Structure 1
């Protein structure tokens, strides 16, 4: 490793260890890491960008906190999703009075988020496909809004760089930035990782992280959809929108592995492909259904990663750690000389992260999870590009020069042509990455 690369790796280690220790101690005390203080909020006005499953879930979780939360505006590419969410909330007696969205504050198409954020609010919830989050987060920060943003925060290296720049601006403005990596708010993970960082299993030598499941949803094309509308409605199946399964779901486990290690990897090699995805039909989806990655950290230790959607195969979601003095499952136990098992409350992470967020805003405590959200997202992107290309990829080189999957992302509408990276050929087949020929720097 060169001197410059060693310095960059040291910076990553220093950042992650500092923020992890602060967050661990504070959260176990019933709070969240305090980095700034502002006037507390008696009422919290929320704007929701993205009214799909995770956006709907986040709003319900926010409504279930002890805060005086009001939903004042929504935006979604598709009007039926925005209306559907509002109708659902209004039918539930415990939530109806928290919905303060007037008809003129419902915004649609891909650029509706700008007008939605013009509505007077305190908090913006961004729960859109990963491709759109960098510019939406950037706009929220420019408007001076606190932000909750779901993971992953981007789908390519340029998007991650953009988020990192916005994180810097958010810190200058003392904005709260929360990221939907909810395990970092769960007491079982917080306590276990604290013990690992305290040396109870010795030095971390290797890890295995998994998101192995059976499959995901798919929405068939309708006669009234153009290509852009079809892809946005079916966003998980397109690399430029979702970043593939390793980004969209497996990021959770990769994030835990990097948190445990106290740093981010310096390189990765991997392999993957499509064994069952849509029965191999390239006219329906372009993402892989299995990946395997070997991430290498600066000290040479490894994190091995499995992510897949394969029916009939072994399913497992979790993380496992081997240390010089013992082993650990970050979800709640240690084995070896310091054997231990977590016996505290088993809290719902999605709900707990919103309890922490609203409690902090009510107190006037400001914390910022944006940087580790971006770096964990890039860990997943590094793995994906290693699998797609079949090459050993360096963190610093890919972050600086990785390909842009949607160069005109800010200008897209539902009437736009889809990006070239997902443009079907004359027979309707989408580009499929082929190891050995795919260029991660194109």
Structure 2
């Protein structure tokens, strides 16, 4: 967790570090506080978070310009250029030949003359895209989660080490780490405000998510890529795609990652329980164990008509904290300052750091928090106790050969439908997380 200081402490540390190194990349070498240097941005993945993150970048004080986009689908790429162009006008300069389409289109976009690559594709595709951007020496903002399986996490961690050697900026979309209310509360927890942290509870319980019906002319790969949330190799399931935020806060509070997990889960309402539409669970419960024996209890759910809650709680020997801004017990306290939305604040922080020629790297905790979610998912799928080290080393590959996939390729065996169109659904008790 050495790469997870508060934003305030990071600025102090990175200022000192920047004075002693030659920072890579044209922006970091030449940018200055006046912000007159242009930051050329490319977007990989033109869905909701891709559009949102790029819009947030356009709202910063930086002299930013979108110069290329890439997506699996033409209509999504075209929509992004059109909608962002209407809103931000001169900040969008994407020529028609800089709109790239296909599962390998990310290479063309990254190869464009650019400074910052925004990666907001389905998690299963991110490891190779991140690796490629690092190899090309680009600064990167990548949405969470950063992978969907253990081999993907290992690949990201290796690329993170390369990005550090090249002094590349790596921002990860775990935006709570940029919100003052979380930063200040967790600093107080670390300073002993609730004593020793004994246990934590984290929740992402909601009513559900979108589903996109199949088109008659779609290949199976196109259907799954367009409907990516519902396939494990692409999304990593709800615990990875959404609940990662709360799990990340719990690990931040502990300044550590769990060593093992056991869990349970299943499907009750997901698309009416229809196995021809989706393969992910709609509820999970995890008991994470840290090296010191303390626990983090996790609920993730998509069930209509049930109790909704998205929150985190830390219980200590001297009190209880809600990391989003309050403490009860021996040292009661409530955050009273301004705390802007994290999605916008993380881009303010990233662009302002680039303008100052400072580098920070969130890649390691992005990968490890992603793996915390994967560990929980595999524990729930198998209904077994899974150890962190074992799964990271030997966890199953959900999409073998993913680098060569095209929109016409066969989908991986982990998501291949049977003769009746039913997708494989993990069965607790028989599912093997190491197969």
In the superposition, the TM-score normalised over structure 1's length comes to: 0.94
**Matched length:** 422
**Please, which runs of 5 or more residues in structure 1 have no aligned partner?**
1-15
2 CA distance for matches of 1:304 and 1:190? 22
The aligned counterpart of 2:40 is 45
The aligned counterpart of 2:54 is 59
The aligned counterpart of 2:26 is none
Q: Where in structure 2 are the equivalents of 1:176-195 lying within 5 Å?
A: 176-195=169-188
Of 153, 156, 170 in structure 2, the residue corresponding to residue 160 of structure 1 is 153
Q: Displacement of 1:23 after TM fit?
A: 4.0
What secondary structure sits across from 1:97 in the alignment? helix
Q: Displacement of 1:89 after TM fit?
A: 1.6
Q: Displacement of 1:36 after TM fit?
A: 3.8
Q: Displacement of 1:329 after TM fit?
A: 0.2
2 CA distance for matches of 1:211 and 1:33? 36
The aligned counterpart of 1:308 is 301
1 CA distance for matches of 2:95 and 2:101? 14
The aligned counterpart of 1:19 is 3
Pairing 1:271–2:258 present: no
1 CA distance for matches of 2:368 and 2:109? 28
Indicate conservation of the 8 Å contact 2:6/2:183, yes or no.
Answer: no
What secondary structure sits across from 1:166 in the alignment? helix
Indicate conservation of the 8 Å contact 1:23/1:32, yes or no.
Answer: no
1 CA distance for matches of 2:339 and 2:226? 34
1 CA distance for matches of 2:16 and 2:420? 55
Indicate conservation of the 8 Å contact 1:24/1:194, yes or no.
Answer: no
Indicate conservation of the 8 Å contact 2:6/2:177, yes or no.
Answer: no
**Please, which runs of 5 or more residues in structure 2 have no aligned partner?**
24-28, 32-36
Of 106, 109, 116 in structure 2, the residue corresponding to residue 113 of structure 1 is 106
Of 392, 417, 430 in structure 2, the residue corresponding to residue 424 of structure 1 is 417
Indicate conservation of the 8 Å contact 1:24/1:191, yes or no.
Answer: no
The Cα offsets for residues 396-421 of structure 1, whole Å up to 9 and x where unpaired, read as 00000000000111000001000000
Pairing 1:336–2:320 present: no
Indicate conservation of the 8 Å contact 1:21/1:194, yes or no.
Answer: no
1 CA distance for matches of 2:311 and 2:9? 23
The aligned counterpart of 1:200 is 193
In the superposition, the TM-score normalised over structure 2's length comes to: 0.95
- Which shows bigger deviation, 36-45 or 254-263? 36-45
Q: Displacement of 1:22 after TM fit?
A: 5.3
Q: 1:90 to 1:427 in 2, by over 3 A?
A: same
The aligned counterpart of 1:69 is 64
Indicate conservation of the 8 Å contact 2:3/2:361, yes or no.
Answer: no
1 CA distance for matches of 2:96 and 2:108? 13
